[in-house]
Amino acid sequence: MRVIVTKNYEESCQAVANEIITQVQKKSDSKLGLATGGTAEQVYPYLVKAYKEGTVDFSQITSVNLDEYIGMDPESPQSYRQYMADRFFDPAGIDKTKTYVPSGLTKAEDEIALFNEKLYADKMIDLQLLGVGVSGHIGFNEPGEKLTSGVHIEKLDDSTIAANSRFFDSPDDVPKEAITMGIGDIMKAEKIVLIATGENKVPVIKALLTDDEITCKIPATMLKMHRDVTIVIDAELAKAAGYQA
């Protein structure tokens, strides 16, 4: 596991963007696994900036997003399809027919089948971007006695609903379920890059970086078994989590 400790969150976002840019520069038709959420949000402006400066060309990439809320209209401002269109796909000139964000409106078994097709029909994901939830979830794989390997519908943890309520008018408006890649799907990516920041992520990062335990109760700890993982955190989080390079 490779760990990058930056001066601050802004520098972390730049570092993660650089990982993605380098991947696409090396392999122009890279298949990217993309994440949404608050922590990953500020990575995308750096990718757009690099595109506009001519540093990187995203025209040949394909992408698959981690997850989407069940019952969410793809045209809603809170949908992950709209999130990606606003922050990355449109400003970086990406052909949306080469992208996939799961639908929360399609019949579950049909969308799960399509999700698997997008994940595995042509090639594996070259680089998977991840954030991590306060519950330790990656994608929407919430903690529990067991985890699911493949694409599935997940009931969201109360802490996830509370954390995501800032994007809605009230906590009651936050969907209670999501369709998500499973842990096995995430682990099949050739390379994984995870970004984290904030005091509320200290327990998760401590579990991920400072001890040897792998547990379903903190799903992010599964990343310890992956052959090529880069964790990007700022100095404040590293210190609070007791991590020393």
Give the model confidence (pLDDT) of 197-212 as tens digits. 999 999 999 999 999 9
3-state secondary structure of 105: coil
Decide if pLDDT at 40 tops 90: yes
Segment 129-171, tens digit of pLDDT: 999 999 999 999 999 999 999 999 999 888 888 887 877 887 8
At the second CATH level, the architecture of 2-240 is 3-Layer(aba) Sandwich (3.40)
Q: Give the residue from 129, 127, 140, 125 showing the smallest Cα distance to 44.
A: 129
Residue 53, token pair as written in the block: 């400066």
Phi, psi of 193 (to 5 degrees): -125, 120
Show me where the domains of the chain are located. Answer: 2-240
pTM for the complete prediction? 0.95
Segment 167-186, tens digit of pLDDT: 788 788 888 999 999 999 99
Q: Terminus-to-terminus CA distance in the chain, angstroms? A: 12
Look over the chain and give the mean of its residue pLDDT values, rounded to a whole number.
Answer: 95
- The least confident of 99-108, 113-122, 128-137, 163-172 is 163-172
Segment 217-241, tens digit of pLDDT: 999 999 999 999 999 999 999 999 9
Contact present, 32 and 129 (Cβ < 8 Å)? yes
Round to whole Å and give the CA distance between 2 and 4: 7
Mean pLDDT of the region 94-118: 96
